Structure formats: C-alpha cells, structure tokens
C-alpha cells in the first residue's frame, strides 16, 4: 500500500516538474506583447501584395499572382474561392499551391478543383460558370 502511494507521489512530482518546465519556456517571450500585436497588425493590413513577398512559389507566376491580387480586391472577404489546378500537376504541388493561395487570400477558404492542363484559375464559390 505504501509502495503504491510512493509511486503515485513520485509520478505526480515528475508530472508537476515537467509541466513547470514547459510553462517556464512558454512564459519567456521573444517579443514583447505590443511588438507581437504590431507584427500581427502588419500581417493583416499587408493584404495579398505584402504577403506575396513571403510566397515566392506564387510570385514567380506573375499572371496568377496578378489574378490573386485582383481577386482579393474585388471579391468580398467572406466569400470562399475555388482554385482550379491542372491535372498535369502532381498532387503534392496542387496542395502546396492551394495552401499558398489560401495564405494570400486570407481569411477566405480556398477549395481545390482539378481542371485541364497546367493552368491555375480562381473563381468565387458562388459563381456557377467556368473558372476565370
């Protein structure tokens, strides 16, 4: 009986020490709270043009980058977007392009649709016609 209590006490002590160690690392700040809030504000105010600098894979495709910037300016922020990606692109590449597009068009969701060739096109979810 005493051995079981001793084991539980040692286990509780180890768990407590581990949690304190983890929380001590979490409390340490790399940036002060005002600086952190300022960085978040800059990200959301930057829009897709500023975010494009951090997405070099899309920035290389100037035509698609211009389409993303135009879409962000025209379409409402609460409307989701359908990204049509060509069948010839590998599935990993399609997902990477979808994630990068979602990053550029935040806070919109970007849904993936497989199309023809290697072209990339965007359209709002509410649009019934073919991708533009």
E strands, 54-119, are 81-86, 110-115
**Percent of residues, the chain, with pLDDT higher than 90:** 17
Question: Measured at the alpha carbon of residue 75, what is the angle toward residues 71 and 81, in degrees to the nearest 5?
Answer: 70
Q: For residue range 41-67, what is the model confidence (pLDDT) as tens digits?
A: 877 777 766 776 666 666 667 778 788
pTM of the model: 0.55
């Amino acid at each position: 009986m005493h051995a079981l209590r001793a084991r539980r006490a040692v286990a509780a002590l180890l768990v407590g020490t581990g949690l304190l160690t983890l929380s001590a690392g979490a409390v340490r700040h790399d940036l002060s709270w005002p600086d952190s809030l300022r960085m978040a504000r800059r990200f959301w105010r930057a829009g897709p043009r500023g975010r494009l600098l951090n997405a070099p894979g899309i920035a290389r495709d100037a035509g698609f980058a211009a389409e993303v910037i135009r879409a962000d300016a025209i379409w409402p922020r609460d409307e989701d977007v359908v990204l049509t990606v060509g069948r010839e692109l590998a599935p990993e590449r399609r997902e990477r392009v979808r994630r990068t597009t979602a990053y550029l068009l935040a806070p919109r969701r970007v849904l993936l649709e497989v199309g023809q060739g290697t072209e990339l096109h965007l359209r709002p979810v509410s649009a019934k016609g073919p991708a533009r």
